[in-house]
Chains A and B, each alone.
Chain A
Amino acid sequence: MSEPTAVPALSAKQIWHYFAPVHARRPFLALENINLDVARGSFVSLVGPSGCGKSTLLRVFAGLVRPTSGRVELGGQPIDGPDERKGMVFQEDAVFPWLSIVKNVEYGPRARGVARAERRKLAQQWIDMVGLAGFENAYPRELSGGMRKRVDLARVYASDPEILLMDEPFGALDALTRLKLQQELLLLWERTRKTVVFVTHDLEEAGYLSDTVVVMAARPGRIASIHHVDIPRPRSFDIRMTPQFTALTRHLWNEIESLDEG
């Protein structure tokens, strides 16, 4: 009962991070004393105005940024550099254009040395899951932006990370594609129950997807408040019209507005 849930999937302990730009007079405090536990199997969003350090915090979790001080742990183990246990989806198009779709999806298993037949099977399974069957041998340039994002999702899921870090993954997509992909991400998440940390500046997106929404404030980047979303799952598009959902987004909005004045 208490064994796996006792250790959070991800935890940040007293994280301070300074940026030292070459031309700036003094270092810039990007993260001020961040303490955060992410429970195993939960979906947590980080929201906040630009400059609040939400992306930096995510990159600290990924091991791509080493914080100036403090500890980050993955399942109780200190995080030291990026690897396949911390999968990441970026806002930019990160699908390798020189590889076919299937080769993109099997990149992670291949890097880990999974045998050819097995990684093909795995890749196919995730390609089918994101609805790209028939495009296995296409190059990314033949696909639309939304389809490429699906390849990205399939690739990170095929790599089977312990946690999934998403940095505004749908931020560059058009509004309709974005809604569709939110739906599909929910489906994937409900099937696999992988721990997700999701950065966005879209409050509706955060509320729709998450169990927990962390509101961050800027200058210096810090956690302002943490909100639990009690909307039952599985969720569908319709819940956006419920009073409960609109109350939540209004609450988040008021919270962020009040931060601006302070």
Chain B
Amino acid sequence: MPRVVKAQAYQPAGNAQNLPGPSSRSLEALALQQARRSALQRRRQQMSLGLLSVLIVITAYTVLTQLPKSNPALLPPPPTIVNAFIKGIQDGTLLSATVASLGRVAIGYMAGCTIAIVIGSLRGWFTTIGYLLDPIIDALRPVPALAYIPLVILWFGIGETARVLVIGLASFLSCVVSVTAGMKEVPTVYVEAARTLGATERRVFLTVAVPSSLPYIFAGLRVAIGAAWGTLVAAELIAAQNGLGYLLQAGQEFFHSETVIVALFVIGVIGYLMDAALKALQTWALRWSPRSG
């Protein structure tokens, strides 16, 4: 029935009944095609405008380096930067620094977030555990992870342990709040439905509380990856013999501003890629959620 109505709506006015209009099926195909085309157009516009703004920034920078008063040691022209990037890849310094940083962040982030999910869930879900843990976590939270560096160095020296610990702490602190909030936001009706379907307390926690707070857990994971990455670079600035933060530091010491810029660029791109990967995982894991896609 609706098909007929749709087909008539597309026909020209006046003696609509007798005109041989296009079949409803081909109209449907046309509508679908139009929807796809406009989506594609929007995407293309987004891409080209994004590219345009990047080009404008690069052009402006190039012009700046060409000014008569500009100092190439402070504002290296684009070719110098590109050469530094290529050289960094060829001699392996850039790659080994990236690998060193990524390794640290992987261990610290995973450990910190795992503990945050476990502790955050327990204290958010089980009231008594919350009463026990809330004062400690709330006291730790306002202190930025970087502020623990002096103490961590005193306790563990300037080794790998110290850096991973600080990154773990940064991940934990930024993830735990969101996980706890998610557990507190579990709709009562789901819990009561599960109980009246015969679920034990343990089952309610695992099959209702955890999946229901998954959107919050992912929000926490995404905040934490940013915090972990940022903290890592800062930690390497202070105490490290390798890594991207060390590269920044070394670039400053040896007055290689192009190395500093290359390191900044790599830090930015990796941070962006990590968040994009996590976002893709989130979209997949929350495909059931009415709020996703």
Contacts and interface: CB of A to CB of B under 8 A. Distances in A.
Identify whether the interface residues of A are mostly helix, strand, loop, or mixed: loop
Interface string A86-110: 1110101110111100000001100
Contacts of B287: 139
B194 to A, nearest CB: 7
Contacts of B198: 83-84, 108, 111-112, 159
Identify whether the interface residues of B are mostly helix, strand, loop, or mixed: helix
A34 to B, nearest CB: 20
Given A90-B189, A141-B288, A82 B200 contact: no
B289 A87 contact: no
Q: Which of A98, A139, A140, A141 has the most CB of B within 10 A?
A: A98
B196 A98 contact: no
Interface in A97-146: 97-99, 107-108, 111-112, 139-141
Q: Which of B198, B200, B207 has the most CB of A within 10 A?
A: B198
A84 B197 contact: yes
Interface stretch (B36-44, B60-68, B121-129, B208-216): B208-216
Nearest to B214: A98
A82 B212 contact: no
B212 A108 contact: no
Contacts of A97: 288-290
B275 to A, nearest CB: 23
A156 B190 CA distance: 13
Contacts of A94: 189-190, 192-193
B17 to A, nearest CB: 31
Given A98-B214, A156-B197, A82 B290 contact: no
A83 B195 CA distance: 6
Contacts of A82: 192, 195-196
Contacts of A108: 197-198
Interface in B178-196: 187, 189-190, 192-196
A62 B193 CA distance: 10
A64 B192 contact: yes
B197 A155 contact: yes
A111 B199 contact: yes
B161 to A, nearest CB: 38
A203 B189 CA distance: 25
Contacts of B199: 107, 111
Contacts of A96: 190, 193, 208, 211-212
19 contacts: A62-B192, A64-B196, A83-B196, A84-B196, A84-B197, A86-B196, A88-B196, A92-B187, A92-B189, A94-B190, A94-B193, A107-B194, A107-B207, A108-B198, A111-B199, A111-B203, A112-B198, A159-B198, A161-B196
Top 3 A-B pairs, shortest CB-CB distance: A84-B198, A108-B197, A94-B193
Interface of A: 62-64, 82-84, 86-88, 90, 92-94, 96-99, 107-108, 111-112, 139-141, 155-156, 159, 161, 165
